[in-house]
Amino acid sequence: MRYTATRQSCNSVSLGEAVLHSSPGGGLFVPDKLPVIPAPFFMNFSGMTLPEIAYVLADRLFGDDVDSASLKKVVDDAFDFPAPLVRLSDNIYAIELFHGPTLTFKDFGVRFMARLLSHLHSGRAMNRSKRLSKLHVLVATNGNTGSAVANGFAGVGNVEVYILFPRGKAGRQLEAQFTTLGGNIHALEVQGTIDDCHSLVAQAYADPALNAVAALTSANSINIARLLPQTFYYFYAMAQLRQRLGDKIKVTAAVPAGNLGNVCAAVAARSMGLDLQRIIACENANDFLCQWLRTGRDDTPRAIPTLACAADKGRPSNLDRLVHLCGGTPDDVRRKVEGVSYDDSHIINAVNGCYEETGYTIDPHGALAWQALRDNLRAGETGLLMATAHPARSLTAMNAITGRAMDLPLQLTRFMNGSDLRKPLLPSYNALREFILNNL
């Protein structure tokens, strides 16, 4: 498969170029043409496991660039946790995407991307100088991305990861998720702001002397290698639904939406042949997509803080990609995706209402999707709720919403008990450069 960039007409590039380099001119890489999965696959996929399904799809997507044995290993290593389907009501089922190391669906994309990057880089490094044998991943973060990226890359061979975070912004629990890993994960506490962190990373990319001796990449949230594996769990969810309910079901997916990566994955899965009838993007009070669908207004609003904070954003960074995947125009998006938004008062009612009706504790992001299905599901449709995070990820918000104290699950207490390996870093480029040079 080849990749082109949105926003800029350029020649198509290989997978290696699309994932190891940033896209030109502020555009985003998108697949030239997504593969269509042949119909016979869907006749017996309902008994297949997540890694089995993921391998078939990964082979279609990446098989030109990665040999089968390596791809199988990438898939098996990346998806070594369950994604169970839970019945909430007669017509609403949730797929729990939060059983990976950081208890959010982001583990799917990041873990796959980490292993794919490591594989692609080692192939390239063999053809180049030995000094470039390691890949150096730089991330500037306030917390959430740092947690997902650090855990996705922890222990992955030939990769060193530098998490640059401003002092005192993320809170102890979140910081522990990237400061206690050690090994190839370097947590650098910058004595400055998030802007200082971004600026240091930008200076590293722009330094020809450093780039001559170290292969640098960003592996950021808009990397296409992070987005495409998110299609896998839509297929797996459908497989589980068909196994329980038969082949005749009409499925409407409700997707908590922030930067629209997960919504893009749903659209891509449908383009690849998955029979999703409707896709509902579920925003919190940051309702950029809903407004854009209604009016076409395209500015960059300030993000406002909500209870579903992982979806707080201004202009979604994947918007251009969504337009491209839907066909190229805003009207194409309107035909393929619906949008709803709920403010905090609705989130509170949805969390409590879901619990009262079903006994199921849903997190504030999943609550957006629950409410969307309650309000929009039509007769004869089955609702598929993408449960994007474990409720304990939003511990403080959940305790306030429900009035019950929730325990921290083992995955998160493990981080809190680990030793803190953060290193202080002055907000000076020389300090970062030295640090990287010491890890060649």
Burial 228-256 (b: 16+ CB within 10 A, else e): bbbbbbbbbbbbbbbeeeeeebebbbbbb
Shortest spacing between CB 117 and ligand PLP, in angstroms: 19
Nearer to ligand PLP, 113 or 210 (CB): 113
411 lies in the site for ligand PLP, by CB under 6 A: no
Q: How far is the CB of 406 from ligand PLP (least distance, A)?
A: 16
Quote the least distance from Cβ 318 to ligand PLP, whole Å.
7
d(CA 5, CA 235): 26
* 361 close to 403: Cβ distance less than 8 angstroms: no
Bridge partners of residue 95, in order along the sequence: 85, 386
Give 6 or 259: the residue with its C-beta nearer to ligand PLP.
Answer: 259
**Contact present, 227 and 109 (Cβ < 8 Å):** yes
Minimum CB separation of residue 107 from ligand PLP in Å reads 10
Query: What span, in angstroms and rounded, lies between the C-alpha atoms of 282 and 319?
Result: 15
Q: Distance between CA atoms of 122 and 124, rounded to whole angstroms?
A: 5
Q: Among residues 256, 339, 383, 391, which is the contact residue for ligand PLP, using CB under 6 A?
A: 256
Residues in the chain: 440
Question: Whole-number minimum distance, CB 145 to ligand PLP, in Å?
Answer: 9
Interface residue with ligand PLP, options 16, 100, 101, 261 (CB under 6 A) = 261
Residues within window 351-370 making contact with ligand PLP, judged by CB under 6 A? 365
Q: Binding marks (x or -) toward ligand PLP, 374..403, rule CB under 6 A?
A: --------------xx--------------
Q: Tokens 């194409």 map to which residue?
A: 332
Q: How far is the CB of 259 from ligand PLP (least distance, A)?
A: 3
Q: Please give the size of the binding site for ligand PLP, defined by CB under 6 A.
A: 14
Q: Applying CB under 6 A, which of residues 152, 166, 258, 383 lies at the interface with ligand PLP?
A: 258
The single residue among 311, 377, 397, 412 that binds ligand PLP, judged by CB under 6 A, is 311
104 lies in the site for ligand PLP, by CB under 6 A: yes
Crossing angle (nearest 10°) for helices 364-376 and 344-358 = 80
- β partners of residue 137: 161, 217
From CA 247, how far away is CA 181, in angstroms rounded? 44
For ligand PLP, the binding residues (CB under 6 A) are 104, 106, 256-262, 310-311, 365, 388-389
